[in-house]
Structure 1
């Protein structure tokens, strides 16, 4: 009797923050459930603890052919549910490398697999470690393709003398707004203000700026393919331009729509489970609150898992919401309000009955709810795609990293949103909310949002661009015969590495 063929194995290792973990888990679920791959999904210890606190042990129980593992990251074992310290997180990434190698080289399931095995990751030190031990690697870039191309231009920006900034005055004297960059391949002219926020430095040796440039450059040689969480129709020009400088690229998204399309109406529980990868405890009661509201009458406000507003910004935003006269659902993470509530009691009294404030929520379900008329967002890429998929217009308040670029795309290229200033007062917030929730501007935004919703739906249906690209990825990259980590390879690599590894000698 013939031995059943082993299923190909994918090792997912996302950058360990919410905005990267969510789409990685969605892609892993899609490939496991509908394309025949076994999956090992890697959390860091810090995030594993967060998942256990937020959702219990069942969230990490896995299923046949899909399992979770964790590797040490050296971050403190805090019990607080709080945003991660990004500086500490970035510094911890190199420390993940020996633990990742130990996982690959000693894990029984990975070692026993003679089928093709491939790493899917956006953690560059981990990708390079995989290459060292002969494990094929594919990048899953979880932000926009435009932001990636913008980061590729960092050396040119420096060579042209546009960055670093000469002094901090250039952050507020109009320099960023007036400096136009019109030579980026595949991208129309944009202001320096619209580049990822890493360019906003006066330090010629700025470590984050250098790291962003290095990450972009590494994708020319380290991975065998690059997956972008986007759709061809949304970023066609820059995707074409990048195809000339990168390994094969695949635009696959929005993943929540691909999951819903694959599972169909017969399995809504799977779709909900695959979309819910929250590292924080969700409050689903807000959905019941939305049920009592009129169609398109509620402004949804949320700023992701990391962005922190100052107390003054929270108060100004609160009174902008109150004075707009519109109902609102507002997510304020528990780490935002510290030990003392920031919101004035007068605001809570003023908005009683028409405002709902919660610490976290199931964002996809909220955006799909018929009562939501617009989304006040920090412009994280997952939020952008989820809003586009639901046909909800945007009120953009970008925080940092890629968010300036995403806001520029939404407001100027896709006509989906309106941007507010970097430190808006309550009057500006009120006016912007009135614009997107009603009147001629709001109506125009809703029409555009509906058009993009239809384009995204078509892209994820059979024969659509994202569906075709997913099949190409599976057939051309993930399922092809390539050098795998065979038992012999593992034994050889393990022996060489164990002799040199200080981790294993301890």
Structure 2
């Protein structure tokens, strides 16, 4: 934040940028990080946001916030799955955004708007931006590997790989090595065609944009990016890792318990467990995880989000015998400052759902992973973690307590885990270098700024 304050004092603002994330936490966070990066380069920032899951403006004093009301009913906002919600908002928001964009473009003539940067899932924003003669860049909050899979949906549907069939789960998909059929993105929803329609719209409007921004690294995804540059007819800016552009801010008071507990543990001894902001476990899955952790004999920091277990508020399903068995060795919390946890020397492994933000943060800190994907591109990420980058162990379909115990011990104390940790640290070193002068991300950021200013 000090770097941002210095930028505010020393640099004259070039132009204003409008940034519009979808209202899901895994999409808001990287968009806000991108806003900080561009602010530090001299741009004024306006964050467009909805009523639903709105960011707190008081946390971001350097940005202007502008509400684009989505008009959702209480039932719609509380009962819909994420994909159905985004599909509905794409229908509802086009006319609303057009009115608000006209207003934003007509004001602040001393601080003119240079471009709109929208989440790639906001398909409707391309037409609105075109009508306003405003360049539209897109932020894709996942990675290049999974985006190639989404681009292949017509082929996958034609060849019968999708919708995914139980009888074909273990088949390799030769068009998308090293993926198996069971790794393909799958969204369980009442109308699966909505998912395919949303993806088709995303691909179409990305190709119509002024450029595609990724929170990833050229070094990590070199082969996928070569293919992306052949497939997509727009400039690609791979400028990640976003969270490494600035030193981490101080953790809020409620997170200090996690860090204080980690301070008492030996280096590389703790397995950190967190499955993101959306995954919901069955009671059986929850108890198998608990006893797998207990039986591994390894120290663990486990984030159990309230309401993330079906039929349970928080920890009431855990029997007294479990709590006694892990007393002093296990710490269970409702929330933890993930970047600070992954950077802590006591953390030797991360058991994760393999959402891209979590996966990339772990790679950037050199922390090896145990992969426990649930849906969407998490399965693609998990396959790359285990089979391509070789920085983790994939649980595959074996998620009982014995398989969990074995995976934890393999990662944390056995020779295989030592080799995985060595590869993880090597990737960390490469990615650190990408942000330095002359590095790939450094150069891509320069290209992005030049592209925005030349529109």
> Quick check: TM above 0.5?
yes
Separation in structure 2 between the aligned mates of residue 335 and residue 102 of structure 1, nearest angstrom:
38
> Is residue 239–residue 442 contact of structure 2 (8 Å, CA) maintained in 1?
yes
Please state if 1:96 is matched with 2:93: yes
Q: Per-residue deviation at 1:463? A: 1.0
Counterpart of 1:224 in structure 2 is 210
**Closer, same or farther: CA 30–455 of 1 in aligned 2, 3 Å:** same
The root-mean-square deviation of aligned C-alpha atoms, in Å, is 2.6
Please state if 1:249 is matched with 2:236: yes
Separation in structure 2 between the aligned mates of residue 202 and residue 282 of structure 1, nearest angstrom:
38
Secondary structure of the residue aligned to 1:373 is: strand
> Is residue 46–residue 76 contact of structure 1 (8 Å, CA) maintained in 2?
no
Instruction: Indicate the larger mover: 326-335 or 155-164.
Output: 155-164
Separation in structure 2 between the aligned mates of residue 153 and residue 404 of structure 1, nearest angstrom:
16
Counterpart of 1:17 in structure 2 is 24
Counterpart of 1:214 in structure 2 is 201
CA displacement 1:124-173 (0-9 Å, x = unmatched)? 222332222222100111101010011111101122233234xxxx32x4
Of 136, 149, 169 in structure 2, the residue corresponding to residue 176 of structure 1 is 169
Q: Per-residue deviation at 1:389? A: 0.8
Secondary structure of the residue aligned to 1:177 is: coil
> Is residue 374–residue 394 contact of structure 1 (8 Å, CA) maintained in 2?
yes
**Closer, same or farther: CA 346–396 of 1 in aligned 2, 3 Å:** same
Q: Give 5+ residue unaligned stretches, structure 1.
A: 261-267, 483-506
**Closer, same or farther: CA 240–214 of 1 in aligned 2, 3 Å:** same
Of 426, 429, 441 in structure 1, the residue corresponding to residue 401 of structure 2 is 426
> Is residue 151–residue 212 contact of structure 1 (8 Å, CA) maintained in 2?
yes
**Closer, same or farther: CA 195–358 of 1 in aligned 2, 3 Å:** same
Secondary structure of the residue aligned to 1:343 is: coil
Counterpart of 2:297 in structure 1 is 325
Which has the bigger relative contact order, CA under 8 A and spacing at least 6? 1
> Is residue 315–residue 344 contact of structure 1 (8 Å, CA) maintained in 2?
no
CA displacement 1:199-256 (0-9 Å, x = unmatched)? x8998x62213322332233222x1111111111111111111112220111111111
Separation in structure 1 between the aligned mates of residue 79 and residue 162 of structure 2, nearest angstrom:
29
- Normalised to the residue count of structure 1, the TM-score between the two structures is 0.81
- Normalised to the residue count of structure 2, the TM-score between the two structures is 0.89
Counterpart of 1:238 in structure 2 is 224
**Closer, same or farther: CA 423–101 of 1 in aligned 2, 3 Å:** farther
Q: Per-residue deviation at 1:407? A: 0.5
Instruction: Indicate the larger mover: 365-374 or 116-125.
Output: 116-125
> Is residue 379–residue 397 contact of structure 1 (8 Å, CA) maintained in 2?
yes
Secondary structure of the residue aligned to 1:284 is: helix
Separation in structure 2 between the aligned mates of residue 255 and residue 6 of structure 1, nearest angstrom:
21
**Closer, same or farther: CA 76–132 of 1 in aligned 2, 3 Å:** same
Aligned length: 437
Separation in structure 1 between the aligned mates of residue 71 and residue 255 of structure 2, nearest angstrom:
30
Please state if 1:286 is matched with 2:258: yes
Listed as ranges, the matches of 1:254-403 within 5 Å are 254-257=241-244, 259-260=245-246, 268=247, 271-272=248-249, 283-337=255-309, 338-339=312-313, 341-403=316-378
Separation in structure 1 between the aligned mates of residue 227 and residue 149 of structure 2, nearest angstrom:
12
Of 32, 35, 57 in structure 1, the residue corresponding to residue 39 of structure 2 is 32
